[in-house]
Structure 1
Amino acid sequence: MKLAPIFNPDARRPSPKPVQVDLRKVFVTGTVLWVLALIVFGLLKYLGYCTVKPLIVSISGVCIGLILLIWEYFNRWDYRRLAR
């Protein structure tokens, strides 16, 4: 019966283990992509196109990426311990 796990918790299959991901690689990749977007929109602004809003978004993305890298540095031990 498909509804058995809802009514009877003993009928549920065990949950899979969480996948351990290196957050540093993820955050560095995202930050590098935001830096590339910042360069592209900066060049477009230099060429005379109106790209103020995309520049602000790109700067925000770079700032958030740097903050996440700092967070990852200080919390690396905690989330790796929890992923085991």
Structure 2
Amino acid sequence: MPSLVRILTHPESRRPGPPPLNVDLRKVVLAGLAAWALALIVAVILVVADVQEWPAIAVCVSGLALGGLGLLWARKQR
């Protein structure tokens, strides 16, 4: 078994890494969007009940917007 120093100084002596998995990124992004949508619903309920303040809603909306961009990116990568 090669030492850590040898592996770091000669990376070609390592065994090759496994091939990347084929993952449907659309499903992953949609799961994240669903989580942000649920968080948005909870945040709105908490703001209406005067338990939380408006920045929580802004964070959830930002998460949904970034997830939408991620969905567009995943669509282009297909």
Scaled to the shorter chain, the TM-score interval is 0.7 to 0.9
For 1:62 and 1:9, the matched residues in 2 are separated by 40
Query: 1:44 maps to which residue?
Result: 46
CA shift for structure 1 position 9: 4.5
Q: What is the identity percentage for the equivalent residue pairs of Structure 1 and Structure 2?
A: 36
CA 1:46–1:17 in structure 2 vs 1: closer, same or farther (change >3 Å)?
A: same
Query: 2:25 maps to which residue?
Result: 23
Cα deviation digits, residues 11-53 of structure 1 (max 9, x gap): 3211211122110111000000000000001011112223211
Count of equivalent residues: 76
5-14 vs 29-38, which deviates more? 5-14
TM-score by length of 2: 0.82
Aligned AA (2:75): Y
Query: 2:63 maps to which residue?
Result: 61
Compute the RMSD of aligned alpha carbons: 1.6
Runs of 4+ off more than 4 Å: none
Instruction: Assess if the C-alpha contact under 8 Å between 2:47 and 2:53 holds in 1.
Output: yes
Query: 1:79 maps to which residue?
Result: none
TM-score by length of 1: 0.77
Stretches of structure 1 lacking an aligned partner (at least 5 in a row): 77-84
